[in-house]
Structure formats: structure tokens, C-alpha cells
Amino acid sequence: MVRTTSFFVCQSCGAQTKKFFGRCSSCGDWNSLIEQSAQSIDGRLRRNSVDFDQEPRSIKSMPMASLKENPLLRLGSGYQEFDRVLGSGLVPGSLVLLGGDPGIGKSTLLLQSATAMAISRSVLYVSAEESAQQVKLRWNRLKGAETNLHLLAETDLENVLKELESLRPEVAIVDSIQALHDAELSSAPGSVAQVRECAAALQRLAKKLSIAMILVGHVTKEGLLAGPKVLEHLVDAVLTFEGDRFASHRLLRAVKNRFGATNELGVFEMQGRGLSEVINPSKLFLSGTSAAGIATIVACEGTRALLVDVQALVSSTSYPSPRRTATGVGTNRLHQILAVLEKHMGFPLSRYDCYLAVAGGLEVEEPASDLGIAAAIVSSFKDVSLPKGTVLIGELGLGGQLRPVGQISQRLQEAERLGFNRAVVPRGSGLESIGFLKSIELIQVVNINEAIIMSLEVDK
């Protein structure tokens, strides 16, 4: 029997009704009524299991300087790449939301990590989407070590909360928040009201019992996290797991992280027996060949520099307006670079189609890759390959000038480590102080003209 302990609350004016209406009778807004449980409306805490007000607190502000800091305790996830994105591990009492396309490997990643963590601590894996048998099959496939991992296949929020409270694990994983269901609400699982109530109840318990919790979240067709935006505000970190379904590598990123940097990147590879870490990802994004139209750039993802090949194909067009397609780089950037090349180097690129692709399906958003993209285009246009072992770093201005970019020493170090011996960089990158580069010849240039001549060794 469904208990009617819920209300519908207008998100615009706050009016409450017992029944659902398409339009708020108070302010007249359409589709603004969202279901909420009665307790969460009166501000009282629902479920006697969660009670913050056990001991009276004295409410007083205090000088910032007198506040004692507690060092953040971190629980390692068992995977170096996962820890890097989390900011060196999970924080007890925090909530992490992991989103990603269906089938990308969220459950696999978390089951592997849970198994690894369960060697030294108690871990509960709540599977709301798959049955215990299904999880066990996957676990066998992953050849999980015999550890103290607990599994609960349950979709009812109340039961999940009870189990969490009796087991009191250090780490809990909920796969997925959209499949959990609070019987006090009449809305369907996965609806805004359900997702919000379930996540809030889990968060209260996580805080109270100091459980590090990871929630799996679905993404919508547009690639956004499904459910209310409130969910993203509620959790401490939002991670996304992405990758090409047709390629085997997967990228883990932090979109929001209260306990670490947000631009860190973790790289995994999906194999027959689960995900394995890719400690040296530059190898994944380098083709290792040198041909016309290929240039190597150094992209920075957080504290990590990655060497990546970009490929361009320029061919005369048979269309009234030429085709421009870019994968891994924004089309606007491609248009801009083509326009600069046409204007400042005189190449008649408006009569040519141009296709651009970043190897390995990586998205390169940094302006530091401009020079490499420009060089790949010119190399394909001229049908001359760039000399082997050359990296190109630099942001291209509209006037054809090259601007220095950040983290240059880190980029050059990575290039040197991978055996590259020539780097074309903007003049004024502050390289005078870098004394450690032994095997890289630095070519400092001021504009695109000079850069192309120096790197291609052709005259236009």
C-alpha cells in the first residue's frame, strides 16, 4: 500500500498541494510541481536512524585563524588512476557521483575498485540495477580476489539505509542512484523527486556514519547527468567516465571536486578481464608514424602532460563551400586556424576541404595545440611530412603571432621523456631558466610563418 506522506511543492513559489497538477494553482507556472516527502518539507529529519541533533551544539562564529584543521583522511581506491582523479583517494563522509554513458564501464570500474578496497577495509556494494547473480558473474569475469566485499542487491531505499547502518562499512557503492526507490514517494524511480530524496537520505547517513560513498548516475542523451541539478550540488565530487565505445580506452575526469583539482585525468583500458590502468597514456595517442598531415602536440590535462598526434587531410573541394570536419577539436577553432593560415601565409585553403582528427578520440580544448594543428594542416596541404621527433607547442593569435602557453616545462619534459628531440615553441616562453632539457633542441619562433618554415623546412 502506498503511504501518502508526500507533498507536491512548486519550485517557483513554494506552494504545497497534496495532489499533482500540471500547473501551480498559486503562481500559475507550468510543470513546476515536484514531489517531496512530508518530513523533508517540515525540515524535520526523516527516519529515526538519522539524527543530527543528538547533542546540543553551541552556535557561535569563530576567528578563522583559531580553527584547527583536521588532516583529511584519504582512503585509497585501489587504483592509482582513480585516486589521481579523486585527489589522492576517497574522503570518509563524502559523496562522489560517477556519471557516464551506458556500457562505458562504470559498474566494472567500481566493482574492481570495491574488490581492491575490500582487501583492507569493509566495503558494501549495493546493486540496484543488476541482480546478485549478475554481479557475481561479472566479478568472476574480473577474477576478483577473495576479499571481504559485501553485496546487496536491493532497490528499496529504506532497506539500503538499514543495511548500511547495521554493517557500517567504510566505503559504500550505490549502482545506480536512478534505480533506487523511496516507497514514501509515489513518483517512479529515476524521477527528479526520487533521485533527490534518495541522494539526500544517503548523504545524511554517509555524513553521520563517516562512510565514503560513490553513487553511479545515468547520463541523458545530451550527455548531461540525469536527474536534478541539485544532485550535483549535493555531492562533493562529480566524476565522468567517458570514451569511445569502439576504442578500448576510457577516460575518467573530475567535473567538480571539493577535495582536489578538477582537471585531472585518469586513463584506463577495457580488456577481456576488466579495466586496467594506463600509466603511460601518451603511447595511446601517438601513432608512431610520420606522414604528411601528422603533427605531435603536447596537451596538458591537470598535472599531466600528454603527447598526442593530430592528423589533417586537406584536399581540393568539389563543393561550392568546402567541408570542414573536426573530431576532438572544436570546429570553430579549425575555422579560425584555417583563416589565419590563409590570411598570413597566403595558402588558398578556402578552396580545399579540411578534415582534422585527434588520435585516440581525445578531446583537445587547449589553445596550446593551435600551432600543432596549423602545422598538420600545412603539412597535408604541401604533402610534406614534419621531421620525426618534433613537437609543436603554442597558441595562435589572429594576427599570426604565437603566444606562450602555460606549463611549458612540464610539456617539454614529457616530450623529452618519450624521446622527442625537437620542440617548436613561442619565443618568450620563459625557457631561459629551464636548464634540465638535455636532448631537446628548442626552436623559438615569433609567428606562424617562422614556425612553419622552421618546422617544415619548406618555404611557402
Interface contacts to ligand TYD, rule CB under 6 A: 100, 102-108, 138, 141-142, 270, 272-274
Phi–psi pair at 125, nearest 5 degrees: -105, 115
Q: Give the residues across from 250 on adjacent strands.
A: 243, 268
- One-letter amino acid at 217 equals G
Q: Of Mg ion, ligand TYD, none, which one does residue 71 interact with (CB within 5 to 8 Å by kind)?
A: none
Which runs of consecutive H residues, i.e. helices, occur in 210-330?
229-234, 282-285
Nearer to ligand TYD, 134 or 315 (CB): 134
Nearer to Mg ion, 128 or 405 (CB): 128
For residue 453, what is its C-alpha cell?
A: 618554415
Q: Which helix (H) or strand (E) holds 374?
A: helix 370-382
Phi–psi pair at 198, nearest 5 degrees: -65, -45
Q: Of ligand TYD, Mg ion, none, which one does residue 328 interact with (CB within 5 to 8 Å by kind)?
A: none
Q: Of Mg ion, ligand TYD, none, which one does residue 167 interact with (CB within 5 to 8 Å by kind)?
A: none
**C-beta separation of 307 from 415 below 8 A:** yes
**C-beta separation of 119 from 147 below 8 A:** yes
Q: Of ligand TYD, Mg ion, none, which one does residue 274 interact with (CB within 5 to 8 Å by kind)?
A: ligand TYD
As measured in angstroms, the least distance from the Cβ of 223 to ligand TYD is 14
The Cα 170–Cα 90 span in angstroms is 10
Dmax (CA) of the chain? 81
Q: Of ligand TYD, Mg ion, none, which one does residue 202 interact with (CB within 5 to 8 Å by kind)?
A: none
Q: Of ligand TYD, Mg ion, none, which one does residue 104 interact with (CB within 5 to 8 Å by kind)?
A: ligand TYD
Nearer to Mg ion, 7 or 125 (CB): 125
Nearest CA to 6 out of 266, 139, 193 is that of: 193
What Rg do the C-alpha atoms of the chain give, in angstroms?
27
Nearer to ligand TYD, 37 or 127 (CB): 127
DSSP state of 75: B
- Does 112 contact Mg ion by CB under 5 A? no
Nearer to ligand TYD, 107 or 390 (CB): 107
Q: Which of 107, 127, 178, 240 binds Mg ion (CB under 5 A)?
A: 107
As measured in angstroms, the least distance from the Cβ of 404 to ligand TYD is 40
- Of 105-113, 134-142, 312-320, 433-441, which part binds Mg ion (CB under 5 A)? 105-113
Q: Give the residues across from 425 on adjacent strands.
A: 444
- One-letter amino acid at 36 equals Q
- Of 47-55, 103-111, 297-305, 421-429, which part binds Mg ion (CB under 5 A)? 103-111
- The torsion angle over the Cα atoms of residues 119, 121, 122 and 128, rounded to 10 degrees, is -70
- Of 57-65, 77-85, 104-112, 294-302, which part binds Mg ion (CB under 5 A)? 104-112
Distances (CA, A) of 15 to 11, 33, 36, 185, 222: 8, 9, 12, 18, 31
As measured in angstroms, the least distance from the Cβ of 216 to ligand TYD is 7
**C-beta separation of 387 from 331 below 8 A:** no
As measured in angstroms, the least distance from the Cβ of 49 to ligand TYD is 29
- Of 101-109, 225-233, 282-290, 343-351, which part binds Mg ion (CB under 5 A)? 101-109
Q: Of ligand TYD, Mg ion, none, which one does residue 313 interact with (CB within 5 to 8 Å by kind)?
A: none
Nearer to ligand TYD, 13 or 137 (CB): 137
As measured in angstroms, the least distance from the Cβ of 113 to ligand TYD is 12
As measured in angstroms, the least distance from the Cβ of 218 to ligand TYD is 9
Apex CA 400: angle with CA 397 and CA 404, to 5°? 50
As measured in angstroms, the least distance from the Cβ of 129 to Mg ion is 6
Q: Of Mg ion, ligand TYD, none, which one does residue 270 interact with (CB within 5 to 8 Å by kind)?
A: ligand TYD
Q: Of ligand TYD, Mg ion, none, which one does residue 56 interact with (CB within 5 to 8 Å by kind)?
A: none
As measured in angstroms, the least distance from the Cβ of 417 to ligand TYD is 30
The Cα 398–Cα 321 span in angstroms is 22
Q: Give the residues across from 422 on adjacent strands.
A: 390, 441
Q: Helix, strand, or coil here: 263?
A: coil
- One-letter amino acid at 222 equals E
As measured in angstroms, the least distance from the Cβ of 131 to ligand TYD is 13
Nearer to Mg ion, 220 or 325 (CB): 220
- For Mg ion (CB under 5 A), the number of binding residues is 1
Other Cβ atoms less than 10 A from the Cβ of 343: the count is 14
For residue 163, what is its C-alpha cell?
A: 543495511
- β-pairing, 265-271 vs 249-257, is antiparallel
- Of 106-114, 186-194, 258-266, 412-420, which part binds Mg ion (CB under 5 A)? 106-114
Distances (CA, A) of 137 to 9, 54, 269, 443: 43, 43, 20, 56
As measured in angstroms, the least distance from the Cβ of 4 to ligand TYD is 35
Nearer to ligand TYD, 89 or 144 (CB): 144
Give contact residues for Mg ion (rule: CB under 5 A). 107
